[in-house]
Every structure is written in structure tokens, then in C-alpha cells.
Amino acid sequence: MTSSRSLASAEDTEDFGRALAAELTRGDLVILDGPLGAGKTVLARGIAAGLGVQGPVTSPTYVIAREHPAGDGQLAMVHMDAYRLGAGPHALDELDALDLDTELTEAVVVVEWGEGLVERLADRHLLIRLRRDPDTDIRTAEWGWH
């Protein structure tokens, strides 16, 4: 089942992430899909806030993955950007080198640009597609468990 929600502002996107975080548990894999500027990192920041992780959440594009430790009694989050991973068969080798399947036992893993690559890390994943209307700047989120 797929759900949909309109996100008129960055605050709406962060609030949506906080609400999603309440449904996430250790071992969940969340894949964020959408073009540049769709709000993937803003949504990840909202998820992190809802999980209660420590430290600021920024785009992991240049470091590929950042671990955000859990706050008091909360869940940790690994925030990854798969955009810079190589294409083709080498992408799987690079993904394996990150050892994210081990992280999944202890944290929620949120991956930007991961569709078609990271699904194999978990038995199920939450796919969230973000789209931005170029005329209104309003985003639409569609999501569902797969």
C-alpha cells in the first residue's frame, strides 16, 4: 500500500520525518528517492530529530555515510548517500565495503539515492519518493513498505 502527502515547506518535510520516525525500529532501512532539491536531506533531518539522534544532520554526499549516535534511550541512525557509489557491478562491492548490513542490527539506516542498490540489505524497506512541483515548490511524498 502506498501513501501520499503534500509538503508545502521544509518544516512540513521535517515534521513528516519526525512522524515517520515514530514508526521506525532498529534494523529498518529507509530509501529516499527524488531529484536534486526534492528534500531528501531535509526529510532525513526530520527522521533524525524524531529518532532523537545526536549531532547535526547534513548531506552525506562527500563522506558517503555518517553515523549519528543515539540520544538517551533512542535509536542511532546511519545516513548514507549512494549517489557517489560507482555504477554497475562495482557499486555492490563499494556497498559491501560500507558494512551497512551490520549497522542495520543496531540502527535505522536512511539512504539517499539508494533505490535499485540497497534494497538487498534488508528483508523489507520503506521507499519514500519525493517530487517537487517546479511551479509551486510544493513537494509530494509517496511512501510504502516493500
Contacts of 135 (CB under 8 A, 6+ apart): none
Query: Could you tell me the residue range of the domain that residue 106 belongs to?
Result: 3-145
pLDDT in tens, 112-142: 988 888 888 889 999 999 999 999 999 999 9
Counting the structural domains of the chain, the total is: 1
3-state secondary structure 15-72: HHHHHHHCCCCCCCEEEEECCCCCCHHHHHHHHHHHHCECCCCCCCCCCCEEEECECC
**28-50 pLDDT tens trace:** 999 999 999 999 999 999 999 99
User: What are 82-97's pLDDT values in tens digits?
Assistant: 876 655 555 555 555 5
Percent pLDDT > 70 in the chain is 81
d(C-alpha 12, C-alpha 28), whole Å: 23
Gap between the Cα atoms of 14 and 8, Å rounded: 11
Cell numbers representing residue 36 in the block = 536534486
Phi, psi at residue 104, to the nearest 5°? Answer: -65, -20
Amino acid at 57: V
Residue 96 belongs to what H/E stretch? helix 89-97
If you average pLDDT over residues 1-11, what whole number do you get?
A: 93
- CATH code of 40's domain: 3.40.50.300
